[in-house]
Structure 1
Amino acid sequence: MKNLQNIGLLVLAAAIPLIAVLPLPDFWIAQLNYIGMYSMTVMGLVLLTGVGGLTSFGQAAFVGIGAYTTAWLTLNTGISPWLTLFIGMGLTAGSALLVGLITLRMSGHYLPLATIAWGLSLYYLMGNLDGLGKYDGLLGIKSLSIGDFDIGQGRAFFVLTWAILLCFAAALLHLLDSRAGRAIRSLKGGSQMAEAMGISTFRYKVTIFVLAALFASVAGWLLAHFQRTVNPSAFGLKMGIEYLFMAVVGGVGHVWGAIVGAGLIRLLEDQLQVLLPRLMGTSGSYEVIVFGIALVMVLKYLPDGLWSLVGRHLPKRPRPVDWQQAAPLAEREKPEAGALVLDVRKARMEFGGLVAVNDISFQIHAGQIVGLIGPNGAGKSTTFNIITGVLPATRGEVMFRNENISGLPSRDIAKRGMARTFQHVKMIADMTVLENVALGAHTRGSKGVLPAMLRANRSEEKQLFREAQRQLERVGMGEYLHEQAGNLAMGPQRLMEIARALCADPTLLLLDEPAAGLRHKEKQALADVLRQLKNEGMSILLVEHDMDLVMQICDHLVVMEFGTLLTQGPPAQIQQDPKVRAAYLGTEH
């Protein structure tokens, strides 16, 4: 798929000068200019909404900031438009950062509502300031030029616009195929899995919000010098909705869908504005009605957009394995055999008047597999979440390698060497198994968004993929490297989760029902992997209902019932304990 994306970039790069020299009517060149500018804005929504899962109706407002900044500065100060581009981007980034810090902690419908409010506020601000020409806007903006060469609004402007668009597309494709891109793609599935991998979900949300705004700002700068006039109508809520509509129709999860959606809607809008009034016999914005119906139909019958029709017929080539010679990632210092790794001290979790975990205490030492067992509702998962930072304990302490981690967020605990799997498998279904597992090594890399977009992260990427392949082979899944994760059966999905956790180079591995869904041979393979990890000095906390597996591999068992510690000890002792036999194992054991 990566090769096909590169081919797409090359085709577009070759098409730009070819179209510029073809004898196309000026009308079509102008249409292509609009499509190019709209596509830039929509690409920001692909990153923000399609990939990151954040719905924003305020994208048009950022187009307005870029447009009004260059318009006002060139008209009133005589500053070069090439300089106003960066001033506008600075103002856009500042405003997007402020809005993002305020709104991106919201979830559900609050974020879209907040961006609607932001777009309306900026629209009325632009329309009521005398310095910005109120609703008439600013007129007489100069066209772009390089020295004595006037770029104008024709073919030279087309080459500039589409060259910038091509750079944006390449940068976005590079970003999505990177450590930072995998972190961004993990946002859509919620924060719990991403935070457990050491990812600061809020920071990445703000980052993509600002990045999408910058794409829009550049489009606004071009639009101002193309139209040579700006007014608030082009940056209101209607356009914000229209940009989102373009993204959905084209394929909100696909970079090339931005161009497809922007092109289709721009051309249809122009045609419908002429044809529909003739059919209706009266003037009006009937195209809005048609677009509304079309949006409902697309969402129902083609939720992945028009580009998905193209994408499903393109051959999917596996990623070239070019990381075999990459240097291995640095590994954290392991504790000495028998050293205390985890010390849970009277951990308590209350939900209102309900005590879910009642003063639980136990320890795990290096090279030890500890099983946390008990009937359903015993409080095992809550204890798990207290240890991993998903839930803050009401009181008590969790000591990890002699450091109090109580109250720390999951991502900070993950960075200290604790990795986990989940009771219900959490993964990114449309990424390959290799990419999902590489996500587990997020804390072991350092390259961020900008190096990814500039392709300055290749060496680190090879290291991460080398480690991901090693861990997959370690759990017996080496043949699934290039398989799409969503195509896996439940058993392989759970093994993939274990490989992802191992990619973090943990000191303590927490496995939440890893044998669920595994066949007998897979369970035996899992037992072998866990024994191997134990021999290497890794500590493991295991929540599991398969008592045969638990008794087979665990050194120590902690038994819970109704949130309390029933008993603990070696498996042989637990099997003979009458309290455990009655509460969980059954009298026949």
Structure 2
Amino acid sequence: MLKPRAILTLFILILLLSPLLLPTYQITLLNYIGLYALVVLGLVLLTGVGGMTSFGQAAFVGLGAYASAYLTTTEQLPDWLAWAGHSPWLALLVGIALTAVVALILGALTLRLSGHYLPLGTIAWGISLYYLFGTVEQLGGHTGVSNLPVISLFGIALDKGEKMFYLIWAVLLLAIVITQNLLNSREGRAIRALKGGQLMAEAMGVNTFRSKLVIFLISALFAAVSGWLYAHTQRFINPTPFGLSMGIDYLFMALIGGVASVWGALVGAGVLTMLKQWLQDLLPHLLGSDGQYETIIFGLLIIAVMHRSPGGLWPILMRFIPVKLKSRQLLQEDGPAVRLDQRRPPRQGDLILEAQQVTRRFGGLIANNNMSLQVHAGEIVALIGPNGAGKSTMFNQLSAVDTPTSGEVRFLGQSLKGKSSREVAAMGMSRTFQHVKLLPGMTVLENVAIGAHLRGERGVLSAALRLERAEEQSLLQEARYQLQRVGLGDYLYEEAGSLALGQQRILEIARALCADPCLLLLDEPAAGLRFKEKQALAELLQKLRGEGMAILLVEHDMDFVMGLVDRIVVMEFGEKIAEGLPQDIQTNPAVLEAYLGGAE
């Protein structure tokens, strides 16, 4: 069995030898594959990982290409741009800066859209930029710009496709390394949480809009660099390669290769480029030269691939490549198990959370009506009631996921009015969810490490260059500590989606603890747990209470609640009908009637 590193070494060796062994025509195709793969790599981040569909990547390719074409071919540049004239490398810097500014503006305008409005928005600005390239006279109009200068590197003129090949593929491999580094980091976990886990991520302190903007910007910059390379490879550009049809092709490449796979970008670009070329060469001999038969057949083949393998070709290839894959050991097992700094706990008995006359209306429906409760440091409070009583809605008011129609929630003496769940998480409140919210394709360790997001500081650039490894190890060590604390220490590298439901609920508690909270909100934590697991959970919560943590839980298991909590608040039809010690609640007539069905 081959190791992944051996496969990669062999691949790089083949790349190094290709210009020496293959004819010029084949090298030209490989150059196009490398250029396309660089753009598709950005789409893997944006669409496959982040869950945002963009049809406008070709326009960003055009920005990089036209910025360089204008700067390197215009005789009289404005004074403020004269310094960058006639140098492809300086033009690259200007193109990157221009693309970054445009991407930030377009991202701020479109990334807040959801559903079908987001891809429609990308189509709109993609078409606008395409027509801009063909309309501005200084950019050559639809005729284009020719006689772009050759790129020189270390005194060597890259004036042939065989020479540009090395630069194109070196840039692509560097982009792949940067992307993998980013995804395997604190920032990467935040990015990976965008697809299907935004509510959970915000509750753990992740700024999801910022994460969207980050990958939108990175994908735009990858496209701009591809455009710069394309312009100086062709030494001629016009608007045609930067239109909507090419943007659709880039998406097809991502889908065919595997939209969630970094190496799938290369597979998709290669397969689509070669397939198009073969069809264009073969079909005229079979069907005649008239008509766009290759487009028809190409479309049918794409539908077939998507039907047979929705995840793309890369997962299929991985089944047949004899690679010895190990579970990725994220932790340095021989490293010191140093815990992160912890917040100063409140004093025993301090008022931590207070809800005052909280009412939440949804149109004519009143989900919570004048609800009041308090939670103090070092106590466990249960919020119980029949199904539909409004408990989960109340949880959302307390954790700033939702905003009360009237009334007020105060946490650590501060009003939560106007605060987001992310800001509340930073203050020291952490929660689990009624319906488990985790990222099933990520490991148990990585899922829990999301809870420590706010306890790290290193940013995107540090992650891309692997300069944050010490902090990353600290975050992962903290995640492992919390998993061992809750009894899941043997499942670090298992996929979270493979755990039983009860284990997934325990994982959520470990993730919440990883945020180092002073208040823990648990929504039905014992649901799906076996008897011994409930006992272990109760012991853990009692230990946390002894450490001064405040705990508020919603639970239906009365045996679990009665033997654990200090006080109980009972709800019915959105209102509080009783509050007191467990033994008092058990004999309260209103509770017996409403919640226990009048049982003696």
TM-score (norm 2): 0.95
1:547 is aligned to 2:547:
no
Higher mean C-alpha displacement, 524-533 vs 374-383: 524-533
* Code of the aligned partner of 1:477: L
- String of CA shifts for 1:103-135, please: whole Å, max 9, x gaps: 000000000000011111111111122211211
1:318 is aligned to 2:342:
no
- String of CA shifts for 1:368-405, please: whole Å, max 9, x gaps: 11101001111100100011111111111111111111
1:53 corresponds to: 51
Inter-partner Cα distance in structure 2 for 1:36 and 1:338: 63
Query: Does the CA-based 8 Å contact 2:197-2:439 persist in structure 1?
Result: no
Secondary structure of 1:367's counterpart equals coil
Matches within 5 A, 1:402-417: 402-417=413-428
Inter-partner Cα distance in structure 2 for 1:31 and 1:74: 26
1:257 is aligned to 2:268:
no
- String of CA shifts for 1:14-52, please: whole Å, max 9, x gaps: 4332324x3210111111111111110000000000000
Judged with a 3 Å threshold, the aligned counterparts in structure 2 of structure 1 residues 213 and 72 are, in CA distance, closer, same or farther, namely same
1:122 is aligned to 2:129:
yes
Inter-partner Cα distance in structure 2 for 1:125 and 1:79: 23
* Code of the aligned partner of 2:15: I
1:483 corresponds to: 494
Judged with a 3 Å threshold, the aligned counterparts in structure 2 of structure 1 residues 23 and 13 are, in CA distance, closer, same or farther, namely closer
Matches within 5 A, 1:484-563: 484-563=495-574
Question: Pick from 401, 405, 427: which aligns with 2:412?
Answer: 401
Query: Does the CA-based 8 Å contact 1:13-1:166 persist in structure 2?
Result: no
Judged with a 3 Å threshold, the aligned counterparts in structure 2 of structure 1 residues 312 and 497 are, in CA distance, closer, same or farther, namely farther
2:362 corresponds to: 351
Higher mean C-alpha displacement, 395-404 vs 279-288: 279-288
Query: Does the CA-based 8 Å contact 2:4-2:325 persist in structure 1?
Result: no
**How far 1:299 sits from its partner (Å)?**
2.4
1:434 corresponds to: 445
1:95 corresponds to: 102
Secondary structure of 2:63's counterpart equals helix
2:287 corresponds to: 280
Secondary structure of 2:295's counterpart equals helix
1:567 corresponds to: 578
Higher mean C-alpha displacement, 127-136 vs 410-419: 127-136
**How far 1:530 sits from its partner (Å)?**
1.0
Inter-partner Cα distance in structure 1 for 2:6 and 2:179: 15
**How far 1:172 sits from its partner (Å)?**
0.4
Question: Pick from 477, 484, 497: which aligns with 1:473?
Answer: 484
Return 5+ residue gaps in structure 1 as ranges: none
1:328 is aligned to 2:326:
no
Query: Does the CA-based 8 Å contact 2:68-2:231 persist in structure 1?
Result: yes
Query: Does the CA-based 8 Å contact 2:409-2:417 persist in structure 1?
Result: yes
- String of CA shifts for 1:118-176, please: whole Å, max 9, x gaps: 11111111112221121111111122123652112322211111111111000000000
Judged with a 3 Å threshold, the aligned counterparts in structure 2 of structure 1 residues 485 and 147 are, in CA distance, closer, same or farther, namely closer
2:396 corresponds to: 385
* Code of the aligned partner of 2:17: L
Inter-partner Cα distance in structure 1 for 2:154 and 2:272: 35
Question: Pick from 31, 34, 44: which aligns with 2:32?
Answer: 34
The percentage of aligned residue pairs carrying the same residue is 55
**How far 1:282 sits from its partner (Å)?**
3.2
* Code of the aligned partner of 1:440: G
* Code of the aligned partner of 1:486: G
Query: Does the CA-based 8 Å contact 2:428-2:518 persist in structure 1?
Result: yes
Inter-partner Cα distance in structure 1 for 2:237 and 2:49: 31
Question: Pick from 186, 195, 199: which aligns with 2:202?
Answer: 195
* Code of the aligned partner of 1:24: L
* Code of the aligned partner of 1:333: R
Question: Pick from 164, 189, 210: which aligns with 2:217?
Answer: 210
1:583 is aligned to 2:594:
yes
Inter-partner Cα distance in structure 1 for 2:515 and 2:5: 30
Inter-partner Cα distance in structure 1 for 2:59 and 2:595: 60
Secondary structure of 1:398's counterpart equals strand
**How far 1:352 sits from its partner (Å)?**
1.4
Secondary structure of 1:377's counterpart equals coil
Secondary structure of 1:317's counterpart equals coil
* Code of the aligned partner of 1:229: F
Query: Does the CA-based 8 Å contact 1:326-1:462 persist in structure 2?
Result: no
Inter-partner Cα distance in structure 2 for 1:285 and 1:96: 35
Secondary structure of 1:187's counterpart equals coil
Inter-partner Cα distance in structure 2 for 1:372 and 1:450: 44
1:151 corresponds to: 158
1:165 is aligned to 2:172:
yes
Higher mean C-alpha displacement, 291-300 vs 330-339: 291-300
Inter-partner Cα distance in structure 2 for 1:553 and 1:5: 50
Higher mean C-alpha displacement, 423-432 vs 517-526: 517-526
**How far 1:474 sits from its partner (Å)?**
0.5
Query: Does the CA-based 8 Å contact 2:38-2:223 persist in structure 1?
Result: yes
Return 5+ residue gaps in structure 2 as ranges: 76-84
Inter-partner Cα distance in structure 2 for 1:137 and 1:12: 37
* Code of the aligned partner of 1:465: L
Higher mean C-alpha displacement, 314-323 vs 128-137: 314-323
Judged with a 3 Å threshold, the aligned counterparts in structure 2 of structure 1 residues 4 and 74 are, in CA distance, closer, same or farther, namely farther
Inter-partner Cα distance in structure 1 for 2:188 and 2:4: 15
Q: Which runs of 4+ in 1 moved over 6 A?
A: none
- String of CA shifts for 1:466-518, please: whole Å, max 9, x gaps: 11111001111111011011111111111111111110001111111111111
